[in-house]
Amino acid sequence: MTMTYRSGFACFVGRPNAGKSTLTNALIGQKVAITSSRPQTTRHAIRGIIHRDDAQLVLVDTPGLHKPRTLLGERLNDLVRETYASVDVICFCVTADDKIGPGDRFIAAELAQVTTPVLAIVTKTDLVTKDRVGEQLLAVSALADWADVVPTSAVDGFQVQLLEDLLVGRLPEGPMLYPDGELTDEPEQVLAAEMIREATLEGVRDELPHSIAVTIEEMLPRADRPADKPLLDVYATIHVERDSQKAIILGKGASRLRDVGITARKQIETMLGTPIYLDLRVTVAKDWQRDPKQLKKLGF
């Protein structure tokens, strides 16, 4: 009897900060999607790839769907809707420690209109009591007719394997889509930019996330290095909208920017497996989120 091989795409949707990226990382077992305690941090459909003997599951990490206030917001929502149409199964994430709110209902109403099967996932169950998890499962079930409702915790691994099996079970039969061993198909520069952005966001006041973009100007091996001691030069720019935001990122005597550089450098070195020299600059691009020209230049 030959084994059926399945392959396809799944995406996680939910309010910003609903635990989508953390769950993606728990499933893949390596840090791929950017996770931050700040909402609204994922801007690229970063795909993580799970390789199994019987399947290949490709996870697409969409930006959070929300009511848009800017042109950037509208473009992000369009990207999310395009993603719904191109995947085989959707996971709608709701956290266990937060009451269902208007944002969740807005997304549930959107998902009720798609033909793709939707699994409702209650995330962060490690933060609450069993009774609270039960209440949340009932509340989520009442929102729509989901294909399945699953409580999980990426932190302690609760039912992460079960979720993977359920997702694989919903994939169509098909060949391997990516070479074995690949974890993501995002270009390294995109991932490096995301890691710098994540490091920049850590511990900063809430007004910054929407206003930060990172571009990699250059990523090239240093010419005069011996083969056994390579060094990669990475030149990156952090774009903000106002001088006051630039001041926050720089910190006193540029001390904060130095810390950001150290954190981001370690992560990028781990990802690339090679030592890097990271050159970070901060520039002010006034109101870039509302300017189509600047949005295009920054890759949106």
pLDDT tens string 186-232: 677 888 888 898 888 886 756 565 678 888 888 888 888 887 888 88
Distant-in-sequence, close-in-space partners of 60: CB < 8 Å, separation ≥ 6:
9, 10, 11, 45, 46, 47, 83, 87
Q: Are residues 91 and 206 in the same domain?
A: no
One domain for residues 154 and 12? yes
Domain identity same for 20 and 98: yes
Total number of domains in the chain: 2
> Hey, which bits of 52-112 come out as E strands?
55-61, 89-95
The CATH number linked to 207 is 3.30.300.20
Q: What's the whole-number mean pLDDT along residues 102-121?
A: 89
- Specify whether 159 is located in the same domain as 123: yes
Residue 197 structural domain: 188-297
What are 24-31's contacts with CB under 8 Å, separation 24+? 24/48, 24/59, 24/61, 25/154, 26/154, 26/157, 26/160, 27/57, 27/59, 27/160, 27/163, 27/164, 28/59, 28/183, 30/183, 31/267, 31/271
User: 232 and 139, same structural domain?
Assistant: no
- Is residue 178 in a domain? no
Q: Say which residue, 247 or 43, is predicted with more confidence.
A: 247
My answer on whether 224 and 153 are in the same domain is no
Q: What is the CATH number of the domain that holds 103?
A: 3.40.50.300
Find residue 284's DSSP bridge partners. Answer: 240
Same domain, 261 and 288: yes
Same domain, 214 and 131: no
Pair type for strands 213-221 and 148-151: unpaired
| Residue 232 and residue 265 in one domain | yes
Q: What's the predicted TM-score (pTM) here?
A: 0.60
pLDDT at 241: 86
User: Percent of the chain beyond pLDDT 90?
Assistant: 33
Q: Are residues 266 and 121 in the same domain?
A: no
DSSP state of 55: E
Final residue before a domain boundary, out of 137, 169, 201 = 169
In a domain, 68, yes or no: yes
User: Residue 34: which of 68, 15, 9, 61 has the closest Cα?
Assistant: 61
Tell me: do 193 and 161 sit in the same domain: no
pLDDT tens digits along 132-151: 999 999 999 999 999 999 99
Q: How confident is the model at residue 106 (pLDDT cuts 50, 70, 90)?
A: confident
Give domain status of residue 176, yes or no. Answer: no
Same-domain check for residues 67 and 127: yes
Percent of the chain with pLDDT over 70: 82
User: What is residue 44's predicted lDDT score, i.e. its pLDDT?
Assistant: 46
**Of all helices (H) and strands (E), which one includes residue 256?**
helix 255-272
For 41-59, the pLDDT digits (tens) are 444 455 678 888 999 998 8
Q: Could you report the per-residue pLDDT of 61-72, keeping only the tens digit for each?
A: 665 566 667 777
Work out the average pLDDT over 59-84: 69
Amino acid 41: pLDDT: 45
